[in-house]
Chains A and B, each alone.
Chain A
Amino acid sequence: MELTELGRLISSLTVGEEPTVLGNMVQTRDGLRQLGSVIKDLRKTVLRMIAEAGSGHLGASLSAVDILAVLYFMRMRHKPEAPSWPGRDRLVLSKGHAAPALYAVLAKAGYFPEEELTSLRRLGSRLQGHPDIETPGVDASTGSLGQGLSIAVGMALASKIDGSGCRVYALVGDGELNEGQIWEAALTAVHHGLDNLTVIVDWNGYQLTGRTEDVKSIEPLDEKWKAFGWDTVLADGNDPESILEALNLCDLTTGKPSVVIARTTKGKGVSFMEGNRFSRKAPDPEELRKALSELI
């Protein structure tokens, strides 16, 4: 157990009496080591899902999977056996195209059988190409970029009105920040002092057409969020410990919302998939074999 005093303090505050999923995965060095191996499996699962489906946003899913795993296995209070438990913390996957990563995490947590994962994008499956609340554990229907943060603001407001203490997370893409509605919602969250809301920007530097700086530059990111009145924390979004510490810090923010600007690598974990090459391309059988062999 090497985690900071701060982390321990937060952990004791947030784990609470309600059982957290994978209760063994507490915020310790051991927990983080276990999580690392879980995440490696999740990456393999995501690769297989998208290969099987024949399409899907592989790069975005691989860049976001560490963040989602930390949230669901070490941070959020939730009950996979009772997906609509009112007291749960919420995640809005505003960058809905990373759905395969979310589905892999939710299945691992126990929301639905892992065998169902290979039904991704198939007719009749509960696992649409982008998230829909018909899937157990999915808190918001997303996929149309820019809309998720507003939904998260509404959830955080409801939590404030009820005094329920629920925390709300929204995972947004950096390319998604081109959408004006994100900045409308950013103003709303600050105006209402939503310190129970944390945004995580999956800052992988790419969007569909190319590098964000070439398509429509959104830098400097942290200064933009700061100017909008948010508390900002920088993190390595592919390092679970860094993500965890950033999220712990966000818990200390009062009177305003917080944002973790998480530097990630699109396609993270498979050397030849990093960058934009597999932005929305499914791996062929040979590429899948090679990719899986890198994740042993």
Chain B
Amino acid sequence: MLKLVQEASQLEHFGRALVALGIVREDLVVLDPDVAASTKTTYFAERFPERFIEIGISEQDMIGVAAGLAASGKTPVACGFAVFVACRAWEQIANSVARPGLNVKIVGTHSGLSPSADGASHQTIGDIVLMRVLPGMRVVVPADAAEAVKALEGVVEASGPAYLRLMRGSTPVVYDEGCDFEIGRANLLREGSDVTIVANGVMVGMALEAAERLARYGVSARVLDMHTVKPLDVSAVGEAARETGAIVTAEEHSVIGGLGGVVAETIVGDSPTPMAMVGVKDRFGGSSRSHKELLASLGLTPDAIVRAVQSTMEKRK
């Protein structure tokens, strides 16, 4: 199927969607630590200067300020590069936001390997595990620009702390004909009976590509867009385990504790199933002038998913 638009920027759409939300939600306040031009919160800042708080380069302070705003009835959206917000300010998020269950929306941009040229210092392979370990924290990883908009609406509408993980740059379009989105409910993108590929973020497009290739070998692969890591759609995962008997997860994150981890934790008790994880294998990234090239160098490709499917199906035999 030919797509009208091949690639789109999550952040560009996120920035515009923030303005739209700001129009209907007067309680929305946006905070940004001196990266507004990159996170695209500039659109909100221009439209609602009185509700935009430039916090300067101080992410830990930003989280606390957001907590104070939420405690006073505001709905703060605290944005910044994922590694500096979710990882650097983790303990502030834990103690100032998650413990009191405050209605703070944390948006980690430039996540995963997407700031590819900047190198390992700016990349994030541990934010999902750090966020999902916090009680009450919702964790959402949209696959493309359209889903990023829906996910933003979803986390803002749901009361309580949430982490929204977005990518820098243009990434492949997955939802070119609209996108259903409900927090905690996986999107079934392709039906299949031999194996299920559970993916999120940039890996969803690759999972679909892998499924297409597998079909040529006579393998029927189900593809789930598991945009919500927490609360996980346990029924979709359970069905995948029981109905297809093999699971491969694919994520732009360490294989330790991310999507693969949560899926494994879920199936091990109720429906033990052979599974494999495609993700970053316990190492840091590095510089590359292309996101895609960096992903490939770390083994995040449709080919890697295909191989993981084959080896997992063999284990089942």
Contact = CB atoms under 8 A, between A and B. Distances in A.
A224 interface: no
Interface string A178-199: 0011001101100110000000
B29 to A, nearest CB: 7
Interface stretch (A5-13, A64-72, A144-152): A144-152
Interface string A140-160: 111110011111111111110
Interface size class of B (residues with CB under 8 A): 20 to 34
Contacts of A180: 60
Interface residues of A, number: 35
Contacts of A157: 53, 65, 68-69
A156 B71 CA distance: 11
B310 to A, nearest CB: 48
B50 A151 contact: no
Contact of B96 (A150, A162, A166, A188): A150
B60 A86 contact: no
Contacts, number: 106
B261 interface: no
A170 to B, nearest CB: 10
* Majority secondary structure, B binding face: helix
Contact of A181 (B51, B61, B76): B61
B58 A184 contact: yes
A141 B91 CA distance: 13
A161 interface: yes
- Judged by DSSP, the binding face of A is helix
Given A158-B68, A158-B73, A150 B95 contact: no
18 contacts: A132-B99, A140-B68, A147-B92, A149-B64, A150-B64, A151-B71, A153-B61, A154-B70, A155-B69, A157-B68, A158-B68, A161-B50, A162-B72, A180-B60, A181-B60, A181-B64, A184-B56, A184-B61
Interface of B: 29, 50-51, 53, 55-56, 58, 60-74, 76, 91-92, 95-96, 99-100
Closest 6 CB pairs of A and B: A154-B68, A150-B64, A158-B72, A184-B61, A184-B58, A154-B65
